[in-house]
Amino acid sequence: MPFTDKVVLVTGGTGSFGHRFVETVLAQHMPRKLIVFSRDELKQFEMRKKFEDHPKLRFFIGDVRDPDRLKRAMEEVDIVVHAAAMKRVEVCEYNPIEAILTNVMGSRNVIEAALDSGVDRVMALSTDKAVSPVNLYGATKLCSEKLFVQSNAYSGAKKTRFSCVRYGNVVASRGSVVEVFRAQQKSGRVTVTDPRMTRFWISLEEGVSFVTSCLSDMVGGEVFVPKIPSMNIMDLVEAIVPGAEVENVGIGSGEKLHEVLVSEDEARQTLEFDEKFVILPDHLFWNGHKRWQGGRPLAEGFRYASDSNDRWLDADAIRQLAGNE
């Protein structure tokens, strides 16, 4: 693993992913120091208490919009996991410039700070909504992906390398539909936009494990996609709020019926492995092909979508995953 005796920094470190990432790295690995970078002092205070002032844990107040603060935070850092983002679709739609400043310009600031500070590896978290985006959130995450992949060109002979992981909805993460359904349960009625809707589904533990394994594997420039199950929205309702009355409110603006993790066009640059897909960069100068020998090319027209997935969660499996048992 890449964390032994390394200094690790996670942006957005007080979020759902950040909490679990910190917990996992401290419990299972041996970093020299683990830095939580975020802008919310109250969440940092609460997190500090939760981890009982762990001797290897440090907290930096800062915003990814502030390049100077990022450069200071990345001094002597070896590994960066970039999890900071505005991710609420409706909030990004109503505050488009703010979304761009955080998700796009913030990514640029992370990249430049990492290059200037001599960081070894940077892994950025992305989403299925970045594939053929229909809302601003997805568009900003697509831009962020492109920035991280293409910024390996800026690194050149330097040691800094950038890659991304891209996965679907995280079970019971902060602000997820699971929280919405549980809040609506009190009224006995839940709202569903369309009963045909499907989504990719991953647990926080699986997300963290995937990120850490990809950090070990990365050459720089890859987009890593895990093989994860899909679920139907009505099975989710049955798992979380069984017996509740369902009100169909219609599909919302910027929402898809189904999500895609690997598009048909990306499939031409993608190799399949037992547990993941690896989307390789389309660079003439990229030299990581030897690392990914043994991967299986995808068939013409392949598309990894939530509605055509070969792995599905039923209500019982969702209930177990979401902790409703």
Is residue 42 in a domain? yes
Cα gap 233→73, rounded to integer Å? 41
129 in active site:
yes
Tell me which of 247 and 33 has the higher pLDDT.
33
Is residue 308 in a domain? no
Is residue 214 in a domain? yes
pLDDT in tens, 131-190: 999 999 999 999 999 999 999 999 988 899 999 999 999 986 766 788 788 888 778 788
Q: Of 196, 173, 186, nearest to 241 (Cα)?
A: 186
CA distances from 96 to 38, 54, 64, 105, 137 (A): 21, 38, 17, 13, 9
pLDDT in tens, 216-262: 999 999 999 999 999 999 999 988 888 888 888 888 878 899 999 99
- Tokens found for residue 308: 């055509």
> How far is C-alpha 287 from the geometric centre of its chain's CA atoms?
25
Q: Around Cβ 184, how many Cβ atoms within 10 Å?
A: 18
What is the domain extent for residue 223? 7-168+201-227+262-301
Angle at 265 between CA 264 and CA 267, to 5 degrees: 65
Cα gap 204→193, rounded to integer Å? 25
Q: Tell me the chain's radius of gyration from C-alpha atoms.
A: 20
Is residue 182 in a domain? no
Is residue 134 in a domain? yes
Q: Of 150, 141, 148, nearest to 99 (Cα)?
A: 141
% of the chain surpassing 90 pLDDT: 77
What's the structural domain count of the chain? 1
Residue 276 φ then ψ, to 5° = -160, 165
Residue of 6, 87, 129, 276 with catalytic role: 129
Instruction: Give the pLDDT confidence score for residue 187 in this predicted structure.
Output: 82
Is residue 275 in a domain? yes
Is residue 193 in a domain? no
**Residue 43 near residue 19 (C-beta atoms within 8 A):** no
Is residue 309 in a domain? no
pLDDT in tens, 113-135: 999 999 999 999 999 999 999 99
**Tell me, what CATH number does 79's domain have?**
3.40.50.720
